[in-house]
């Protein structure tokens, strides 16, 4: 069986990077995208060091033409697209609703929502011709619940959940599955930025996770690999929470 062709947006740090490395270890061929060229080329070198065929394509997911080029170049290089992981995202600026601005709304929604929509638009364009494919969007537990001072980010991730369900229904009979992962607090740069590097805030965040720890990017990557695998063949339109039990309480 040929190795799967995997495209990952927002692949240069955190969950995206861990996912690229996990797919490489499984023998996949991988295209990674982002907007920091040095990190992109360094990641490709690391993936190739693991024996994977890998390419970096600079892409701003907020631009339709760049996303189209990303997908088309992936297919031109590898012949098809089997798995797409739409991970590009931003937390924007947290704060009370009364302090939110048009600029923060636009910056957050353009990346998290429009970026996911454009990515799926072009991924599905290819996958529907193939008659096969697998899309995993990276949402958040905050796409399922609310949190004070996180209104814009929360709303954007609720939108990602809705996009995932709608797309899954559209292509359910086309040999394509569309799912999401919804990470809880994961030990990435996102957490550092949200807590401001405060240990007190970090401990407070951990206290609200039943397992009393932060998750690791590799744990989210493992869930993404599961959703992309034949083991999840009857699973579509689902959002899998990786949250240490946070949503159970």
Query: What is the spatial distance between Cα 249 and Cα 247, in angstroms, rounded to a whole number?
Result: 6
CB 246 within 8 A of CB 182: no
**Helix (H, G, I), strand (E, B), or coil: what is residue 190?**
helix
What percentage of the chain reaches a pLDDT higher than 90? 90
| Domain annotation for the chain: domains and CATH numbers | 5-185+216-242 (3.40.50.720)
Rounded to whole angstroms, the Cα distance separating 248 from 16 reads 26
Q: Could you give the residue numbers annotated as active site?
A: 153
CA-based radius of gyration for the chain: 17
Q: Is the pLDDT of residue 1 over 70?
A: no
Q: Work out the average pLDDT over 192-214.
A: 86
Q: How confident is the model at residue 202 (pLDDT cuts 50, 70, 90)?
A: confident
Q: How many CB atoms lie within 10 A of CB 164?
A: 27
Say what percent of the chain tops pLDDT 70: 100
**Calpha distance 32→34 (Å, rounded):** 7
What pLDDT, on a 0 to 100 scale, did the predictor assign at position 195? 79
Could you identify the residue written with the tokens 């992309």? 228
pLDDT of residue 197: 78
| Residue 200 pLDDT | 86
Computed over every residue of the chain, the mean pLDDT equals 96
pLDDT digits (tens, 9 = 90+) for 127-139: 999 999 999 999 9
Q: Which of 49-63, 110-124, 181-195 has the lowest mean pLDDT?
A: 181-195
pLDDT per residue over 3-57, tens digit each?
999 999 999 999 999 999 999 999 999 999 999 999 999 999 999 999 999 999 9
């Amino acid at each position: 069986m040929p190795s799967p062709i995997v495209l990952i947006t927002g692949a240069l740090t955190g969950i995206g990077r861990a996912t690229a490395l996990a797919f490489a270890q499984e023998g996949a061929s991988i295209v990674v995208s982002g907007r920091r060229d040095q990190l992109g080329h360094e990641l490709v070198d690391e993936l190739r060091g693991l024996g994977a065929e890998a390419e970096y394509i600079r892409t701003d997911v907020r631009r339709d033409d760049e996303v189209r080029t990303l997908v088309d170049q992936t297919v031109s290089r590898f012949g098809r697209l089997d798995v797409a992981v739409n991970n590009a995202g931003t937390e924007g600026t947290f704060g009370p609703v009364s302090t939110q601005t048009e600029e923060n709304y636009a910056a957050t929604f353009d990346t998290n929502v429009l970026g996911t929509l454009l990515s799926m638009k072009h991924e599905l364009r290819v996958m529907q011709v193939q008659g096969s494919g697998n899309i995993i969007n990276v949402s958040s537990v905050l796409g399922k619940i609310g949190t004070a001072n996180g209104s814009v980010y929360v709303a954007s991730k609720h939108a990602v959940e809705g996009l995932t369900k709608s797309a899954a229904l559209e292509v359910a009979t086309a040999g394509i599955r569309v799912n999401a992962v919804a990470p809880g607090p994961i030990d990435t740069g996102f957490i550092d930025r949200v807590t401001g590097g405060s240990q007190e805030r970090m401990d407070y965040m951990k206290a609200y996770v039943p397992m009393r720890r932060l998750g690791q990017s590799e744990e989210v990557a493992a869930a993404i690999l599961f959703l992309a695998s034949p083991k999840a063949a009857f699973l579509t339109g689902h959002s899998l929470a990786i949250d240490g039990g946070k949503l159970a309480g």
